[in-house]
Chain A
């Protein structure tokens, strides 16, 4: 019997057109994704440098995760559809009466549909493979194909996932007799997974996340997240135990549900009821036919006006809406959303170890992306439900003959969808406010909630409702409609990749309004609403389309529907259509004209050609010495309401070379309408208005030591209603000032292939080596600029305070303008910024330095931490490195649209509201960061590292500016919180380093040659290395090296400092036995592979405990492509058995000091000592007076070990 049912089912499926559509979609998916991934569309490829192979195992498995959502939504349609079909057609009444066994029926249904789904899903892999052997791919992105590359993801991920979800969905549909319950289940699984990962988010829980992720994405990437490019391109994603456990857990879970439902299922006609209500199955009948009743009914008033149709439409939608609200499916969805939102908002910001204050803007920010997408998915699903509702209930013939215009049916569905969206959106408000109350925050800002959710988010959803209604109306199969809509919505994200960049060509796209407590929505609303108006007109056209093709009556073919639609295109509809079309075109025109007003005079290709043409002309000037900027005196006028500025002033340039200079290379910004003026007589050699670059010859050359003033004026193209053309905002402006600069401009084409194509000679390396002494004349912040005098008058509207670097000499009000005159007592480093806003000010002093924090009035949560951060850093740095150079230090808050960072300028730290101001410091939990303090101390330390010691613009510069700022910050933290707390900060740095390294495309650079872009080295690795050095040679010794270095270079001009100078300084204080550290940490990229192999403990009679710990230590250089290399033949090798597997370890020669820690049951330190390790295998014996719990090698994470999990072992 089983085989008959199975065969019958398969035959049935093969006859369904939908199957073939799914098959085609999935094949095309794989095919397209692979082809695009391998640059079949061309162009972009060359510029990107080396990338992972498109058909590498890593990339293929990633692509499968991208497809996951689509696979997910096919399952209910097919697996759920297999049983639902019998219910829906009432076939079950017949079927169940046959002598069919439960086993045969259920397994026949389940396995046949699972087989069909599996085949469809396998087509993705087939598509991927075909995509990888196409002609026209970028050969640099295609590696060797092997069957394993495609089979492994199926084996580990896709097929188990399919089985798990299928079992659950099958069970749900079997018992609910409702296929939509299957879809809702899938949605809930999708959301639950998000929730699991969210709750377990953060680096510490990666192992548990990997174990618990129902889709095994975290598990698959758990072992390969740090893979280097070479590994990515050469290795197959391995089977590992986490994946196996994960799969076992979830298959077990799903099987339990499946078994339960199997046992519960009876081949009877009554539904299994989960409620305890009596089934209303008794027969209601009337006592007798009533023959005396009236045959004629009293007529009532009917009304068929447009207005009454509109009312009817509303009433129908209300009726449908109530039905949705009452349905179990929607109730579970609603509860699911509440729970999800509760976790989302309750866990605010889990990926960082800092919480954020539950401000309304924060409550609104967090759910926006994922939750809106979820509502869009639900809209897709319910648009299908609503469009097909009457047909599914077989009520359509009754409804279709009612005297109601077709638009009324269509519009009522549209209204219903919107009402449903409103209900789902209100979850944000409910949980948001609930969470604020729970956290004891009572400033609810209801208008902000309502505006953001119903004024901004809802519009987008409404437009989605229109398109999903349209698609579901056109297509006969709502499940295919659902999949196509999901693909469409996800695929929109990829439009930009294939060159469609303008929002007016990207469905429902608009610049997202950005809210900040400081600037409100600023000027971001107008462009948003004009885009949404444009898309709303588009939505109306879609709705008209839905109305024309709405299925009414028993239409047969698509041809007939087209005939009907042309008949329905009545005059009023034609009128609405024309109006919408006019609206669409005119708003589109407005957007095109006012929101994207800049039309480049040259196309990208033309500009490239131009650059190639002028390079030979300009390149002879490349090495021309230029006068150097040594002073700025300027004024800056900010107009916050108009979002404009203008500025002007004088720049002092000095000829600090040994030769006369008669040629000036002037760069100016065209965008800022910049003009310059030179009082001396000159002639123009080249005037390049395209690049904004002029070459002048002075009539009288500047002799060495001579100076020249260059005047300038700049203003932005005035901002309009739709378009802001400056960095000025209504409140909280943060503006980088621009002015003309001297020197050879950066315009040359850098891409090697492109240079060949244009016949340009190869470029020398752009960033110079620290050993190149000619490169030390310029700092890392720009050419032809030294420390300089600075003086400015800045004006803003009268209600705001304007801030710049320097000491506030004077302020005054003139009319409705406020003026501030700043001048710096000391020379400052280049980087001129202006801030302006309605600020509160917190003032304090440290010795004779004025400390000020300018903040938005409600953001007063962490001011004391930031103030403490400034003071402690001043304390530490003046004690160990050198004096602070200014009389004042300011932190000034700026709104989030500018970013979420803080940056140090001369005596001034612009600080994002999101970077510390609204952090919530958890004083209870031990794993929490004090992030405002940490960030403040880092930026504060830049006043020494970066502003007093300004490194030269060569490789390795950032390990001085960023690396030493990080080190200083760690030390300040250590002073503030004690050594025990340092582990979490060091661990975070190690994780950041390893993650950054994993993404590194090129061989790992030694620290001293790190590039500016290698953030994981400049910040994280440098912090670890310096901290380790200070641990090994002592804080005092290490800081004395830094002090020497500081004093040599502080506030000096060229030659500027390099990483080599710093390392020399450190070397000179390092004892011989530890000199290896200099090589390992700074001059090479050296990693350890340490582990504890064995631990044992023997209680002795005298109450002591004898502890044995076997540790393996090996170290290697991180060579090209992350390979383990050994730059000496003098290596040591060791082999041991791990289970049955023979493992061989190779190590560089060891003479290393490595810390071993033994901890008690409550984490207390029983033993902590550095051991000298001189071979790979080591046995350590220790006597303790307490029972040990765990042994850890390098407990403070000061060594760099890619896998620190095996560094600890219990007893």
Chain B
């Protein structure tokens, strides 16, 4: 099956930033969520897999392809949506997709027309195919990004923070599209929004500072911390003291200016706390905070 295995990947930038630190990861088919804060190395990892960047050491294999040695073979089965991309001005979606189809090696004109229509339908852009991509809204543009990566029927799909900046409706629509295309392929999906992973992924990893903190399925991960999440309502003045004594995962203000906090602890930290239903978000923060 199409397994992506990353072994001991390291990358240090010229300015001394260690983006990847001996990172190893096995990714199987299905949706794989890559969680991490800004600057965790997600983009570096994804760009390295997508053959856009070299690593200092380590290897990446996909389905028998040594990605770093033979990038061209990977590109044939790759679909990539970068974190940010632009388009040529004054080009319709249909035209742009036709152009990408050419780049992806589809030489027959009728094949291109056919595939462009399919990806437009999948991404729900068919009605607006004649409009200029530069005039698309953020969500439409991201779906266009998905449309272009589907053109070569990729086995490995990499999408880098695609939901950033989308409004809730657009985000929902986008995730639906992604879910559909992700059922049979390996899809790596990076985000710093935990809910994206929860809704979409059957597997996930949390990385920070170029290292993998945990890998698990979202359910597994949540189950592991059940009974260890506690919550309490505190006042603003108490927050500093609480944070010193407990591993505070998150805090939310209430209308009365009091704060609901969630704390990670094997046992009930104090009587004021009540047990809380574990959330994937908790897992994420535990991973980040315990790693420090």
For the complex, give the distance between the alpha carbons of A395 and B81 in Å: 11
Q: Is B276 an interface residue (CB 8 A)?
A: no
Q: Is B136 an interface residue (CB 8 A)?
A: yes
CB–CB A302/B140 < 8 A:
no
Q: Is B137 an interface residue (CB 8 A)?
A: yes
Given A302-B104, A403-B76, A403-B105: A294 and B122 interface contact (C-beta under 8 Å): yes
CB–CB A298/B114 < 8 A:
yes
**Nearest CB in chain A to that of B145: its residue:** A398
CB–CB B114/A402 < 8 A:
no
Chain B residue numbers with a CB within 8 Å of A285 are 128, 137, 140
CB–CB A286/B127 < 8 A:
yes
For the complex, give the distance between the alpha carbons of A964 and B265 in Å: 118
Q: Is A554 an interface residue (CB 8 A)?
A: yes
Q: Is B242 an interface residue (CB 8 A)?
A: no
CB–CB B86/A394 < 8 A:
yes
Q: Is A603 an interface residue (CB 8 A)?
A: no
8 Å CB contact of A304 from B105, B140, B181, B184: B105
Chain A residue numbers with a CB within 8 Å of B145 are 398
Chain B residue numbers with a CB within 8 Å of A296 are 184
Q: Which one of A294, A398, A556, A560 has the greatest number of beta carbons of chain B within 10 Å? A: A398
Nearest-Cβ distance from residue B168 to partner chain A, whole angstroms = 13
CB–CB B111/A395 < 8 A:
no
Q: Is A564 an interface residue (CB 8 A)?
A: yes
**Nearest CB in chain B to that of A300: its residue:** B111
For the complex, give the distance between the alpha carbons of A1045 and B170 in Å: 105
Q: Is B227 an interface residue (CB 8 A)?
A: no
Q: Is B229 an interface residue (CB 8 A)?
A: no
CB–CB B122/A300 < 8 A:
no
Chain B residue numbers with a CB within 8 Å of A316 are 99, 102-103
CB–CB A399/B105 < 8 A:
no
**Nearest CB in chain B to that of A398: its residue:** B85
**Nearest CB in chain A to that of B139: its residue:** A285
CB–CB A297/B115 < 8 A:
yes
Nearest-Cβ distance from residue A311 to partner chain B, whole angstroms = 6
Q: Is B289 an interface residue (CB 8 A)?
A: no
Q: Which one of A297, A394, A404 has the greatest number of beta carbons of chain B within 10 Å? A: A297
CB–CB A398/B82 < 8 A:
yes
Q: Is A401 an interface residue (CB 8 A)?
A: yes
CB–CB A302/B106 < 8 A:
yes
CB–CB A319/B115 < 8 A:
no
8 Å CB contact of B103 from A280, A290, A404, A560: A404
Nearest-Cβ distance from residue A953 to partner chain B, whole angstroms = 74
Q: Which one of A319, A394, A403, A405 has the greatest number of beta carbons of chain B within 10 Å? A: A403
Which residues, 293 to 343 on A, are CB-close (under 8 Å) to B? 293-304, 308, 311-312, 315-316, 319, 323, 326
Chain B residue numbers with a CB within 8 Å of A312 are 102-103, 105, 107
For the complex, give the distance between the alpha carbons of A290 and B126 in Å: 11
Q: Which one of B85, B88, B102, B103 has the greatest number of beta carbons of chain A within 10 Å? A: B103
Chain B residue numbers with a CB within 8 Å of A400 are 51-52
For the complex, give the distance between the alpha carbons of A296 and B115 in Å: 11
CB–CB A403/B72 < 8 A:
yes
Chain B residue numbers with a CB within 8 Å of A658 are none
CB–CB A554/B118 < 8 A:
no
Interface 0/1 of B176-192, CB less than 8 Å to A:
11001101100000000
Nearest-Cβ distance from residue A30 to partner chain B, whole angstroms = 35
Interface 0/1 of A948-965, CB less than 8 Å to B:
000000000000000000
Interface 0/1 of A561-595, CB less than 8 Å to B:
00110000000000000000000000000000000
Q: Which one of A323, A401, A553, A564 has the greatest number of beta carbons of chain B within 10 Å? A: A401
Given A284-B131, A393-B86: A295 and B181 interface contact (C-beta under 8 Å): yes
**Nearest CB in chain A to that of B173: its residue:** A289
Q: Is A283 an interface residue (CB 8 A)?
A: yes
Interface 0/1 of A377-397, CB less than 8 Å to B:
000000000000100011101
Q: Is B159 an interface residue (CB 8 A)?
A: no
Nearest-Cβ distance from residue B239 to partner chain A, whole angstroms = 33
For the complex, give the distance between the alpha carbons of A402 and B149 in Å: 9
CB–CB B85/A395 < 8 A:
yes
Chain A residue numbers with a CB within 8 Å of B99 are 316, 319
Nearest-Cβ distance from residue B42 to partner chain A, whole angstroms = 14
Chain A residue numbers with a CB within 8 Å of B131 are 280, 284
Which residues, 173 to 229 on B, are CB-close (under 8 Å) to A? 173, 176-177, 180-181, 183-184
Chain B residue numbers with a CB within 8 Å of A289 are 124, 172-173, 176-177
Nearest-Cβ distance from residue B245 to partner chain A, whole angstroms = 42
Q: Is A623 an interface residue (CB 8 A)?
A: no
Q: Is B281 an interface residue (CB 8 A)?
A: no
CB–CB A308/B105 < 8 A:
yes
CB–CB A399/B103 < 8 A:
yes
Interface 0/1 of B98-141, CB less than 8 Å to A:
01101111111001101100110110110110011001110010
CB–CB B87/A395 < 8 A:
yes
For the complex, give the distance between the alpha carbons of A302 and B103 in Å: 10
CB–CB B52/A326 < 8 A:
no
CB–CB B88/A393 < 8 A:
yes
For the complex, give the distance between the alpha carbons of A304 and B72 in Å: 10
Nearest-Cβ distance from residue A297 to partner chain B, whole angstroms = 5
Q: Is B256 an interface residue (CB 8 A)?
A: no
CB–CB B52/A397 < 8 A:
yes
CB–CB A286/B122 < 8 A:
no
Q: Is B258 an interface residue (CB 8 A)?
A: no
CB–CB A395/B86 < 8 A:
yes
Given A315-B102, A401-B52, A556-B14: A297 and B153 interface contact (C-beta under 8 Å): yes
Q: Is A1138 an interface residue (CB 8 A)?
A: no
CB–CB B124/A290 < 8 A:
yes
Chain B residue numbers with a CB within 8 Å of A280 are 131-132, 135
Nearest-Cβ distance from residue B100 to partner chain A, whole angstroms = 7
CB–CB A403/B75 < 8 A:
yes
Q: Which one of B85, B91, B114, B136 has the greatest number of beta carbons of chain A within 10 Å? A: B85
Q: Is A557 an interface residue (CB 8 A)?
A: yes
**Nearest CB in chain B to that of A297: its residue:** B118
**Nearest CB in chain A to that of B160: its residue:** A397
For the complex, give the distance between the alpha carbons of A439 and B104 in Å: 53
CB–CB B115/A300 < 8 A:
yes
Chain B residue numbers with a CB within 8 Å of A283 are 137
Nearest-Cβ distance from residue A416 to partner chain B, whole angstroms = 14
CB–CB A553/B51 < 8 A:
yes
Q: Is B10 an interface residue (CB 8 A)?
A: no
Chain B residue numbers with a CB within 8 Å of A554 are 47, 52-53
Chain B residue numbers with a CB within 8 Å of A287 are 127
Q: Is A281 an interface residue (CB 8 A)?
A: yes
Chain A residue numbers with a CB within 8 Å of B80 are 397-398, 401
Chain A residue numbers with a CB within 8 Å of B246 are none
**Nearest CB in chain B to that of A391: its residue:** B86
CB–CB A553/B52 < 8 A:
yes
CB–CB B105/A404 < 8 A:
yes
For the complex, give the distance between the alpha carbons of A397 and B180 in Å: 24
CB–CB B90/A326 < 8 A:
yes
8 Å CB contact of A303 from B52, B72, B87, B107: B107
Chain A residue numbers with a CB within 8 Å of B91 are 323
**Nearest CB in chain A to that of B83: its residue:** A397
Chain A residues engaging chain B, CB cutoff 8 angstroms: 280-281, 283-287, 289-291, 293-304, 308, 311-312, 315-316, 319, 323, 326, 389, 393-395, 397-405, 553-557, 560, 563-564
In the complex, the 7 A-B pairs of residues with the closest C-beta atoms, listed nearest first: A394-B86, A295-B180, A553-B52, A402-B103, A403-B75, A397-B82, A300-B111
24 pairs, CB–CB < 8 Å, chain A vs chain B: A280-B132, A284-B128, A284-B131, A284-B135, A289-B177, A297-B150, A298-B115, A299-B153, A312-B103, A312-B105, A319-B102, A323-B88, A394-B86, A397-B82, A399-B103, A403-B75, A553-B47, A553-B51, A553-B52, A553-B53, A554-B47, A554-B52, A555-B53, A556-B14
- 19 A-B pairs besides A286-B127, A291-B176, A563-B54 with CB distance below 8 A are A280-B131, A280-B135, A285-B128, A285-B140, A293-B121, A293-B180, A297-B122, A298-B115, A298-B118, A302-B152, A312-B102, A319-B102, A323-B91, A393-B89, A397-B82, A397-B85, A401-B51, A401-B75, A403-B105
